[in-house]
Each structure stands twice: as C-alpha cells, then as structure tokens.
Amino acid sequence: MLEFFKDRDNTKENRQEMHIEKLEAKLKKYEQALNSIEEVSIKACRGNMEARIPNWDKYGDISHVMGNLNQLLDLTDAFIREAAASLTAAQERKFHRQFLPQGMRGNFGLGADTINKTIKDMSAMEQRQKQQRFDLTNKFEEVIFSLTNELESATIQFNHTAEKLLESGKNNQKTAERPTQTLENASTTPEELASSLQKITDLTNKLNSQSLLFIDEVRKM
C-alpha cells in the first residue's frame, strides 16, 4: 500500500516537473520573441524598414504575432516605396505613374487613394496651365501680328513721305520761279514725316509693352 502511494506521489512530482519544464520552455520562447521584437523595432524606429523577424513561425503559440509584425513592416515599407515612386514621377510630370494600391489595406489603402487623387489633380492642373499658355501664346501672336502689320504700313508711309520731302527739296532747286508752291509743299511734308515717325515710335513702344506683358504673364503660370 505504501508503495502505491509512493508511486502516485512520484507520478505527481514528475507531472509537476514536466509542467514546469514546459512553462520554462514557453517563457524562453517569449523571451526570444521579445528580444526579436525589440531588435526589429529599434531598427524600424531608426528608419530601416527592411528589418524583419527571421523564422517568425518558430515561436509556437505567438508565431502569429511575429508574423503580423512582419506584415505590418511589409505594408509600411511597400507604402513608403510606392508613395516615393509615384510622387517622384508626378514631380517629373509623369502622371501616368500612379500609386499601385494592390495589397494596401485600411488606412494604407486610403493613403494610396489620397495620393492618386492628388496626382490626378496635379495632372488636371498641368493640362489647364498648358491650355492657358497655348491661349496666351495665340493671343500674343495675334497682337504682335497686328502691330507688326501696322508698323510695316507706318514704315512704308514714312519712306514714302521721306521720298516726297527729298523730291520737294530737289524741285526747290529747279523751280525757283514757283516759290509759293514750293513753300506749300515744304511746309506740309515735314509734318507728315514727323507724324509717320511718331506713329512708328508709338507702335514700337506697343510691341515692347506687349512683349513685357507676355513675359510677365508666363512667369505667373
């Protein structure tokens, strides 16, 4: 009888020892897991988004926790890389290169949608600015074309008036017997010449003014 109770006590002690060993093994796993988490979190806090927990599935009943942490780092790393790539492309006016949202969950997905909407708005703004520059250039060309034609006509008129003045001077030497007619021609022709010259000056000033206005408008875009 005593041996029976003694064997039963030994069995109980063995079970307790085995239980303690299991707890110690589990505690060791937890300590290893915490050490791995600490190591990876320190690297991540320092900006190393490539840090991962190796052999994450070897931690028993907390392996899923280690896997989830790795997945979080995967998503964060992918989000940063994709955001940088899409925004860099947008900065270079390559608006077709948008954020690829596949696999982005929750707020990561919302962030991807926000970035793509921003890129779409940037593209629309670029198109509007192109149209504005196109319209402004066309308007400038029309104004310059009109002023150039006027300047050409004024120059022709100026040359014609100058020729008349020169001809009048020659006639003044040859037809001294008609001083009245010569004086009349001489008195009107210089006024016409001065008027033509003033018109050329005004048109030249307008051309300069329109050019400066065009440059100013382009700089505002």
Residue 97 has pLDDT above 70, yes or no: yes
166: left (phi over 0), alpha (psi -120 to 50) or beta: alpha
Highest mean pLDDT among 3-7, 19-23, 162-166: 19-23
Residue 176 has pLDDT above 50, yes or no: yes
**Neighbouring C-beta atoms of residue 9, cutoff 10 Å:** 10
Q: What tens digit of pLDDT does each residue of 184-207 get?
A: 444 446 677 777 778 888 878 887
206: CATH: 1.10.287
Tell me whether residue 154 is in a domain.
yes
Name the token pair of 10: 């030994």
Burial class (CB in 10 A: 0-12, 13-18, 19+), 165: middle
28 lies in the same domain as 71: yes
Q: What tens digit of pLDDT does each residue of 41-59 get?
A: 999 999 999 999 999 999 8
Tally of structural domains, the chain: 2
Tell me whether residue 144 is in a domain.
yes
Concatenating the DSSP letter of every residue in 81-123 gives: HHHHHHHHHHHTT-TT-----TT--HHHHHHHHHHHHHHHHHH
164 lies in the same domain as 82: no
- Supply the range of the domain harboring residue 31: 13-97
Tell me whether residue 91 is in a domain.
yes
**Neighbouring C-beta atoms of residue 157, cutoff 10 Å:** 17
Tell me whether residue 30 is in a domain.
yes
Global confidence as pTM: 0.61
Instruction: Quote the CA–CA distance of 174 and 164 in Å, as a whole number.
Output: 15
Tell me whether residue 111 is in a domain.
no
The domain boundary, picked from 97, 118, 150, lies at: 97
Mean pLDDT, all residues of the chain: 81
Residue 2 has pLDDT above 50, yes or no: no
209 lies in the same domain as 144: yes
34 lies in the same domain as 75: yes
Tell me whether residue 102 is in a domain.
no
143 lies in the same domain as 182: yes
- What pLDDT, on the 0 to 100 scale, is given for residue 173? 58
Tell me whether residue 8 is in a domain.
no
3-state secondary structure of 94: coil
Burial class (CB in 10 A: 0-12, 13-18, 19+), 53: buried
132 lies in the same domain as 201: yes
80 lies in the same domain as 135: no
Tell me whether residue 179 is in a domain.
yes
Burial class (CB in 10 A: 0-12, 13-18, 19+), 200: middle
